[in-house]
Amino acid sequence: MTKRFEAVCAPFMLDRANLPILHKISGGTVTIVSNKISPPKFKDITMVISGEFSITQWQEECDTEFSDGGKISTAKVTQQYTGTIIGESSITYKMHYDASGDAQFVGLEHIEAAALKIEGEEFLCDLVFKHDGQFTKGVAQSQLTILRCSAYKKLEGKTGEFTAQAGGRAVYSIKF
């Protein structure tokens, strides 16, 4: 027994296993085209890697002090990731503070053996991010670029961002 229903584009029928049978109608004749349907191909889907990280350790040393109160420093930081990325990272920032205490920073971050969940699969991989950011009026923001993803090379070169929240927590997002 077959069931018939109308779809938006063309009529379909279901076979006994309720699987669609594609067919076309031409001049009153029904021709079975296929009973196998491949999933649609979505070329413009944007996927997002997102979650939070918390700073678990921060060690900063002043490299150079300027007479106006500005300085250049190096910070060695440890962070814990949750969300699409699960793991602990180590990052080294080079920071330039102006006299008001606002800063520009660059950094390289390594997340060793991160659990990365993408497209329904989980990968263990080493990740390296490049940071380019600023700390202004108590809020840190950075643009991220993935330089290395050992298990999912498609991510290399993809960009994202993080924005700090109160209490040493930040939200990250990388679209690809």
CA 168: distance to chain centroid? 20
pLDDT per position as a tens digit, 81-125: 998 899 999 999 999 999 999 999 999 999 987 888 777 778 788
Q: Which pTM was predicted?
A: 0.71
**pLDDT tens track, the chain, 176 positions:** 444 433 333 344 444 444 444 444 444 444 444 444 444 444 455 678 889 999 999 999 999 999 999 999 999 999 999 988 999 999 999 999 999 999 999 999 999 878 887 777 787 889 999 999 999 988 999 999 999 998 888 889 999 999 986 677 899 988 88
Contacts of 96 by beta carbon, 8 Å cutoff, 6+ apart: 70, 71, 72, 103, 104, 105
Gap between the Cα atoms of 174 and 162, Å rounded = 9
Give me the domains of the chain, ranges plus CATH numbers.
3-34 (no CATH), 48-175 (2.40.350.10)
Q: For residue 45, what pLDDT is reported?
A: 55
Gap between the Cα atoms of 147 and 171, Å rounded = 20
